[in-house]
Amino acid sequence: MDSEEFQVASKQMIKFVADYLENSRERRVLPDVKPGFMRPLLPDHAPEDPEKWEDLFKDIEKVIMPGVTHWQHPKFFAYFPTGCSYSSIVADILSDAIACIGFSWASCPSCTELEVIVLDWLAKALKLPDCFLSTSDGPGGAVIQGTASEATLVAVLSARTKFLRKLKEENPGMEDGIALTKLVAYNSIQSHSSVERAFLIALVKHRSLNVDDKRALRGETLRKAIKEDKAKGLIPFFVCGTLGTTSTLSFDNIEELGLICKEENIWMHIDAAFAGSAFICPEYRPLLNGVEHAESFNFNPHKWLQVNFDCSAMWIRDSRNISQAFTVDPVYLKHENENEGIMPDYRHWHVPLGRRFRSLKLWFVLRLFGIKKLQEIIRRDIKLAVEFKKLIEADARFEIFGEVIMSLVCFRLKGSNEINEQLVKDINNDGRIHLVPSKCDDTFFLRFSICSNRTTYEDVQHAYKVITEIVEKILKNSRVTLDSK
C-alpha cells in the first residue's frame, strides 16, 4: 500500500468506523458465535503474495464483525465504560503515523513533554495537591501507564524497593530473600483482582482486610492488622485503597487509611480506575479527600473520560522512588540532557521500555471536549443510572444491592443465588442487552453500568423491559415464588 492507496483505504475505513459507531444499535450487542468460529473462515497459512485492499475490506464484516462484542452499543451495560471518541481516534492516527518509541526525552522530545504538561492539566482539573504536579518544588510528577493494573504493580514494586533498601541499610548482613519475607501489604477484600496479582508478582506477603457495612476498608481495621503483623516481626510497607470497587463501586475511607499510613510510614496507593474521572465534578471531588496522604494515585481516562484505550494516568509524590526501582541505564539509551532534571526519561517509570505517544489522545480530548463537556457526560450517565434504579425500586420483585453513587446499579431478584444466576445467563443468551454479575458476601447479583455515550433513557427503559420479560419466563417455567416483601 503506497501513499495514494493509503489515502483511499483510510477514507473508506473512516467512513466504516463512523457508520459503525453511529449505527451500532442495529447490531446484536453480544455475538452469537462459539469458540473456534473464525478458523473455518480463514486459510491456515498467510498469503505468499499481496492481496487486494478491497478483498481485505470485505472480510471485516464477514470475518471480524460476527465475533465482536460491541462495547460502544447503547445496550451494552456490562463491566464499566471503555472510552471512545472521534477526538481520541484522530489522535491515535497521528500517534500511529509518528510511530515513535518514547522511552526517553531524546527518543522523541514532544512525546515526553506533552505527557508532562497534559497530566498537570488533568491534575489541576482533579484538584490534586500541588505535590503531584511536575511544576511543584518537590520531586512529584505523573506518567501514563497502560492500565490501572500496571500502575498498581509499579507502585508495589517501587514501595518494595524503597523498603528493602532501608531494611538492608539497617541490617547490612541480611540477604535479599530474607528481607523480602519481612514485608507485608494490605488491601480490601473488595479490591480488584489485579491488586492481589501485583502482590504475587512482587513476591510479597499480603492481607485482604474485611470491610464495613458499606464495603469500605476503614482505618480501625487497618490499624489492627498492622499491630498484629508488627507483633510477628513483619514490616507493613504498602496499602492499596480503592475508590470505586469493580463489584459494587464502593469507596474505601482513604482519609482514615491515609492518616495511619502517614503515622506508620507506609506507602498508600489509591486505585480509582473507573471512578476517578468523576472527580473532575465538584460534587464528587470530596470522595478523593485523603489523597494528600497518598504516595501514588491512579485512574483510567480510557474508561469514562472519552479517551480510547490505553491511557491510565498515575501521579507520584516522589518520582525518585519509582525511577530508583526501575533504572537500568545502558550506554545506548543515554543522552546528553538526561541529568538536567527538567524532563523525565519515562523508561524509568514503568515496566516496559517502549511506549506509544499516548498523551496525544489525552491532549486532543481535553482540548476538543473541554472540562465542562466532560463533566456533562459524567453527570448524564449518572442520571441515566438513577433512572434505572427507580425502575428497579418500583418493582417489588427486585432489590437494590448496595448504594448507587455513580453510574453503576447493582440489583437482584428477591430470591436465591441460583435464580439470579439463571437470570443473567438468560439475559445474555437473549442478546438484546449485555450485563455481567458479581458476588459479595455470598450474595450473587447483577451489575447495570451505563457504558455508551449513545445510551438514552429509552434504552434504559428497554433494558428494564427485557429484564422483566425474561424474569416472567423464568418464573413461569420454574414455578418459583419470589419474596416480594
Section 186-212 average pLDDT: 91
Q: Grid coordinates standing for 292?
A: 494528600
Asked, for residue 318, whether it belongs to a domain, the answer is: yes
Asked, for residue 470, whether it belongs to a domain, the answer is: no
How far lies 47's CA from each of 44, 50, 374, 414, in Å?
10, 7, 45, 56
Residues 172 and 250 in one domain: yes
* Listed residues 322, 337, 356: the one ending a domain: 356
Asked, for residue 273, whether it belongs to a domain, the answer is: yes
Section 163-180 average pLDDT: 83
- pLDDT number for residue 436: 94
Judged against a pLDDT cut of 60, whether residue 484 lies above it is answered with no
pLDDT per position as a tens digit, 66-82: 999 999 999 999 989 99
481 confidence band (pLDDT: 50, 70, 90) = low
Residues 152 and 245 in one domain: yes
Q: List, in order, residues 6 or more apart from 327 with CB less than 8 Å away.
A: 348
* Listed residues 83, 115, 134: the one ending a domain: 83
- pLDDT number for residue 485: 43
Judged against a pLDDT cut of 80, whether residue 421 lies above it is answered with yes
* Identity of residue 220: E
Helix, strand, coil % in the chain, rounded to nearest 5: 50, 15, 40
What is the rounded distance in angstroms from the CA atom of residue 123 to the CA atom of residue 301?
12
* Identity of residue 248: T
Section 45-63 average pLDDT: 93
Question: In the chain, pLDDT over 90 holds for what percent of residues?
Answer: 74
Residues 191 and 269 in one domain: yes
Judged against a pLDDT cut of 50, whether residue 83 lies above it is answered with yes
Judged against a pLDDT cut of 90, whether residue 343 lies above it is answered with no
Judged against a pLDDT cut of 70, whether residue 249 lies above it is answered with yes
> Of the ranges 265-274, 279-288, 473-482, which one carries the lowest mean pLDDT score?
473-482
322 confidence band (pLDDT: 50, 70, 90) = confident
Section 210-229 average pLDDT: 94
Residues 311 and 172 in one domain: yes
- pLDDT number for residue 480: 63
Judged against a pLDDT cut of 70, whether residue 337 lies above it is answered with no
137 confidence band (pLDDT: 50, 70, 90) = confident
Asked, for residue 411, whether it belongs to a domain, the answer is: no
Residues 167 and 260 in one domain: yes
* Residue in the structure block whose three cell numbers are 508532562: 116
Residues 122 and 74 in one domain: no
Residues 38 and 142 in one domain: no
164 confidence band (pLDDT: 50, 70, 90) = confident
Asked, for residue 166, whether it belongs to a domain, the answer is: yes
482 confidence band (pLDDT: 50, 70, 90) = low
Section 206-230 average pLDDT: 94
By the 10 Å C-beta count (0-12 exposed, 13-18 middle, 19+ buried), 447 is classed as: buried
Residues 44 and 74 in one domain: yes
pLDDT per position as a tens digit, 365-395: 999 999 999 999 999 999 999 999 999 999 9
Tell me if the bond preceding 310 is cis, omega within 30° of 0.
yes
CATH number at residue 161: 3.40.640.10
Alpha carbon of residue 317 to chain centroid: 21
Residues 16 and 105 in one domain: no
pLDDT per position as a tens digit, 114-132: 999 999 999 999 999 999 9
338 confidence band (pLDDT: 50, 70, 90) = low
- DSSP structure class, residue 52: P
Residues 133 and 204 in one domain: yes
pLDDT per position as a tens digit, 397-409: 999 998 999 999 9
- pTM for the full predicted model: 0.90
Asked, for residue 366, whether it belongs to a domain, the answer is: no
* Listed residues 51, 83, 115: the one ending a domain: 83
Residues 24 and 162 in one domain: no
Question: In the chain, pLDDT over 70 holds for what percent of residues?
Answer: 95
Asked, for residue 424, whether it belongs to a domain, the answer is: no
CATH number at residue 54: 1.20.1340.10
- Given a contact cutoff of 8 angstroms between Cβ atoms, the answer to whether 279 and 272 are in contact is yes
Section 222-245 average pLDDT: 95
Asked, for residue 469, whether it belongs to a domain, the answer is: no
Number of domains in the chain: 2
Residues 112 and 155 in one domain: yes
Q: Range of 310's domain?
A: 100-356
Section 247-252 average pLDDT: 93
Judged against a pLDDT cut of 80, whether residue 63 lies above it is answered with yes
Phi, psi of 82 (to 5 degrees): -115, 120
Section 18-42 average pLDDT: 92
Q: Grid coordinates standing for 88?
A: 481520541
Instruction: Please give the mean pLDDT across all residues of the chain.
Output: 91
Judged against a pLDDT cut of 70, whether residue 331 lies above it is answered with no
Sheet holding 443-449, edge to edge: 398-400, 408-413, 443-449, 436-440
Q: List, in order, residues 6 or more apart from 339 with CB less than 8 Å away.
A: none
